[in-house]
């Protein structure tokens, strides 16, 4: 309940204070609202910091000043208050994480319902950040307001991808064969991951083309090792051979077709094949969703049968466990949530669910068939009368075929504004797939999930990692 003080109720000396912690989201919202895109005020965009130090994001002074209006409009005088004038003197800077104390005090009651108040903002250790005076029209009618009728805002900041990157702290760089990094996105993604300590890249391709790409794109190859080969086929074969001998721990797709890379990975001579079917897994950071969402298979298996789907499910569970999901909830999708013999995917889903119950699929909770709505929304599941530990809580969505997976993945990206990282599972080493359309965070996340999986699998922490 918010209640104002009318002009008649106000007394000289009346005072009100609120506290507020400055967050990165505050600064992003202010940038959108004000149009002020000064990089000094945007987290992560301050440029190069001096060696041995980290740049601090500086809150815009007018964001600090705007906090005064929160006291005036909500507390003193409160609802119904209108500004006439405001002066400020800014004496210190505010950074993300600082707790601020904003105080207003009635100095003088003027004519025409006008009131003069002092405005003071203090920050770190009580240091004075800003002071000034406000001249406002105080309300003349008593108002009580219950609750807030303000739409929520959502700031997309790679919340779940950041968690993945943080989880890689302390892990050694993953020795990764980057296959044909002969265009800027492929080479830049690998070098970016190396800068973040996620991978130690071995660049395999035509050395002259790699170096020309680096020069053209302004990329620093540093001390990255290069293996010179004649073409993409030779690069894929060499990378798979090195992985089979344990000289690299992951493969990363560059400027070649996915099937060229997978053909080499599947060649028995290289020893990368396991009893598992290869499958692709998207890990999506979806705005507004409280967890990472995995979708499989949207890139490799066109029309998988039951046996292939069992491997697809187990691959996804293993990856989810490696990413920190203790007991992944796996929803087997179809058009409906009931078994219908005329819809084969519902039969597969029911069989896979029963196989999981009997321990033939391990490490997760599996249920299906589930339609998309009741896999993701508890309310929809309850409306349909579905009793399930998975419904409304799915961490992994298993699609019936590649067409459905491709449609779902692109809807998440282009409609829900999600960002997806990608990995191929089922071989003895993870295979990192990135797209030219991926931004930096998605590329880093793809490398991060590979590093986290390999750390768990290499340490024997995944029961089914290598069969």
pLDDT digits (tens, 9 = 90+) for 97-141: 899 999 999 999 998 999 999 999 999 888 999 999 999 999 999
Dihedral, CA of residue 55, residue 60, residue 63 and residue 67, to nearest 10: 70
Relative orientation angle of helices 306-322 and 440-458, to the nearest 10 degrees: 90
Q: Is the separation of the CB atoms in 14 and 106 below 8 Å? A: yes
Do the beta carbons of residue 31 and residue 98 sit within 8 Å?
A: no
Q: How confident is the model at residue 458 (pLDDT cuts 50, 70, 90)?
A: low
Once rounded to an integer, what is the mean pLDDT over residues 339-357? 96
For 180-189, the pLDDT digits (tens) are 999 998 999 9
Torsion of CA 206, 209, 214, 220, to 10 degrees: 30
Q: Extract the tokens encoding 200.
A: 């130690």
Q: How far is CA 436 from the centre of its chain?
A: 18
Is it the case that residue 72 has pLDDT exceeding 90?
yes
Alpha carbon distance 7, 79 (integer Å): 12
pLDDT tens figures, 133-161: 999 999 999 988 886 677 877 776 688 99
Q: Nearest CA to 285 among 277, 275, 276, 295? A: 295
Beta bridge partners of 205: 228
Q: Is 402 exposed, middle or buried (0-12, 13-18, 19+ CB in 10 A)?
A: middle
pLDDT of residue 253: 93
Across the range 82-96, mean pLDDT stands at: 95
| pLDDT of amino acid 56 | 76
Residue closest to 259 by CA, chosen among 301, 217, 320: 301
Note the pTM of the prediction, 2 decimals: 0.75
- 5-63: per-residue pLDDT in tens? 999 999 999 999 999 999 888 999 999 999 999 989 988 654 333 333 345 789 999 99
Domains plus CATH for the chain? 2-145 (3.10.129.10), 157-274 (3.40.50.10950), 276-426 (3.40.718.10)
The pair phi, psi for residue 3, each rounded to 5°, is -130, 135
Using CB atoms within 10 Å of the CB of residue 1, give its burial: 0 to 12 exposed, 13 to 18 middle, 19+ buried: exposed
């Amino acid at each position: 309940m918010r209640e104002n003080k009318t002009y008649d109720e106000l007394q000289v000396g009346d005072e009100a204070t609120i506290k507020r912690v400055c967050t990165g989201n505050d600064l992003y919202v202010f940038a959108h609202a004000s149009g002020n895109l000064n990089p000094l005020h945007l987290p992560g965009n301050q440029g190069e910091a001096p060696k041995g130090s980290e740049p601090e994001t500086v809150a815009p002074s007018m964001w600090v000043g705007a906090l005064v209006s929160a006291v005036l409009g909500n507390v003193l005088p409160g609802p119904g208050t209108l500004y006439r004038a405001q002066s400020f003197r800014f004496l210190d800077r505010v950074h993300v994480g600082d707790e601020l104390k904003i105080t207003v005090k009635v100095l003088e009651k003027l004519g025409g319902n006008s009131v003069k108040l002092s405005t003071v903002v203090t920050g770190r250790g009580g240091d004075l950040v800003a002071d000034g005076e406000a001249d406002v029209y105080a309300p003349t009618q008593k108002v009580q307001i219950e609750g807030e009728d303000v739409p929520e805002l959502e700031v997309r900041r790679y919340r779940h991808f950041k968690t993945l990157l943080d989880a890689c702290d302390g892990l050694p760089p993953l020795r990764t064969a980057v296959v044909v990094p002969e265009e800027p996105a492929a080479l830049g993604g690998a070098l970016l991951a190396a800068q973040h300590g996620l991978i130690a890249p071995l660049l395999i391709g035509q050395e002259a083309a790699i170096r020309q790409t680096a020069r053209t794109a302004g990329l620093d190859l540093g001390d990255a090792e290069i293996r010179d080969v004649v073409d993409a086929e030779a690069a894929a074969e060499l990378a798979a051979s090195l992985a089979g001998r344990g000289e690299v721990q992951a493969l990363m797709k560059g400027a070649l077709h996915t099937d060229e890379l997978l053909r080499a990975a599947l060649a028995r001579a290289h020893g990368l094949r396991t009893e598992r079917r290869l499958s692709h897994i998207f890990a999506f950071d979806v705005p507004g969703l409280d967890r990472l969402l995995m979708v499989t298979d949207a890139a490799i298996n066109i029309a998988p049968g039951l046996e292939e789907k069992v491997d697809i499910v187990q691959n996804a569970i293993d990856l989810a466990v490696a990413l920190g999901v203790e007991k992944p909830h796996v929803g087997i999708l179809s058009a409906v949530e009931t078994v219908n013999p005329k819809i084969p995917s519902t039969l597969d889903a029911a069989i896979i669910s029963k196989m999981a119950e009997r321990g033939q699929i391990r490490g997760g909770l599996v249920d299906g068939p589930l339609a998309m709505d009741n896999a993701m929304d508890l309310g929809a599941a309850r409306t349909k009368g579905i009793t399930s530990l998975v419904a409304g809580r799915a961490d992994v969505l298993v699609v019936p075929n590649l067409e459905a997976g491709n449609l779902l993945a692109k809807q998440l990206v282009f409609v829900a504004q999600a960002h997806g990282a990608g990995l191929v599972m089922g071989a003895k080493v993870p295979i990192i797939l990135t797209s030219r359309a991926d931004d930096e965070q998605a590329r880093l996340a793809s490398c991060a999930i590979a590093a986290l999986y390999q750390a768990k699998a290499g340490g024997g922490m995944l029961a089914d990692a290598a069969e």
